[in-house]
Structure 1
Amino acid sequence: MLIAIRATEILFAWSLLIQTLEYLRMGKATRNEGLWSWSLQRADIPNAPARAVLDVLFKPRVHQFHLLLRLLGAVVLALQGASLPLIGFLFLGNLLILIRWRGAFNGGSDFMTLVVLTGLLISQVLGALGLVPLGWFAGFWYIAIQSITSYFMSGSVKVLRPEWRNGSAMSIFLNGAIYGPLPATHVLRNKWLAMLGSWAFMVWEILFPLSLIDPHLAVVFCSVAALFHFLVFWFFGLNRFFWAWLCSFPAIIWCSAQFSGQIHGFTHLLMAL
């Protein structure tokens, strides 16, 4: 368990570090005269007392100070590991950032960041009550179930769409990538190759729950996921997705080892009977 804990803490710290540096670079855009001014976004908050508190917290200098503290928190997490005060601060701060960006700045990566933070918070709250092993058990399973379910749902939704079944969706998305439309000679211009690639990813996503059967199988599924997210980063520039989702892999592999052990134990028990 210790290896899974440290892997999760270090990967998540790195992911959080990248996100926070990106927010800091956007300082000019979030000022009152910027494109994402809080003076405009505050209209989304109907409750006057809550809006007044957020007005203070989202002042440019206060917001920048919070991001610097978040940066420091990520470094502490990587070096010293999780603690209830640290994870509590990062969790509440993340909620504030989500409010600042009307619920999400970067879609799925924000979702997975919140999932991992919630899992870490579960582990620390139960740990503070003297239930350290149970805390990490519950936290890891929360992260693993959320991550595996998201892959499964993503594949299931794609299968229902004809553009994914015939492969045209892959070409459409790649034509809008940061490098511009696919060259006329690109292999994915071939209808059958595009359909094969589309179905390969859909089947992989739908079968992701099978990763819990065996830890070696979990490593395979997570490796394909890492390749998938790297390709998304390469073609669309979504670097956050790559690191945010990698944070869930130690939990998936650890839970797979635990679940497969229970299955084997139950099988041996049945055989003994």
Structure 2
Amino acid sequence: MKIKIPDEFSSLKDYLDWLFKKYNTPDFINSDPIKFVHRFSKPEDMEIAGFIASLLAMGNRKIILLSNERLFDLMENRPYEFILNFDPFWYEKSLSNFVHFAYRNIEGKDLLVIFYLLKQTIEKYGRLKNLFLKYYDDKHPTVKQALSGFVREILSFDPPPKFNGIPESINGLIPDPEKNSPCKRLNMFLRWMVRKDQVDVGIWNEIDKSKLIIPLDTHVSKISRALGLTQRKTDTWKTAEEITNNLKKFEPEDPVKYDFAIFGLGIELKQVY
């Protein structure tokens, strides 16, 4: 299926620019997981909130937001302090109540592991940004290498006591782009951290936003194919790169800004596809 560009627009770029202005507004925040980043003013809190909220962003958006509200209540809205002082023995019972968290995909034991890995990460690096910058090189064309190093090091830390290694489910939640995963949620987290406008917070200003890769969710995937931004049939890292490279023809310095346009159009047309 193809999407016909409305007659009032002379090109796909003009149409996408119009959609970007339509959806890239503060009104977008309250209906999106990025709302949990905007609750905080300290960068260390914003990073942890963003990492957790993005990893759990799968399935029904309303349920995602409600589930995150429960989780941030457990953290007493102090995400960095909560993670830094996280005791898996103390919180094991509390997190066991999160059964089928975030639309039946994530359970309490997954949260227990993620929090414990994050605890060790910030004990060693202070902030998530510092770990990412360890692997970031401005000479590379995209964030792929930095993201892969970031993921591999987080997964290299010890699992919580009683766990015999990192569960396979965690590899699905924190995927490595080198394995050709589209890394939708991690790329969304990076968009939040690197881009700066009225929606994205842009607290990682050491990273060049032109190197970001579009978060490839179901809506972006379908709409990108319908707009001719990719010819690939499966959702992989290479597909996300192809879409991003085509968007760079319109906005070389900030191609991922069109995530708002494509995602928003997908929401509008979801009854059609």
Instruction: Normalising by structure 2, report the TM-score.
Output: 0.30
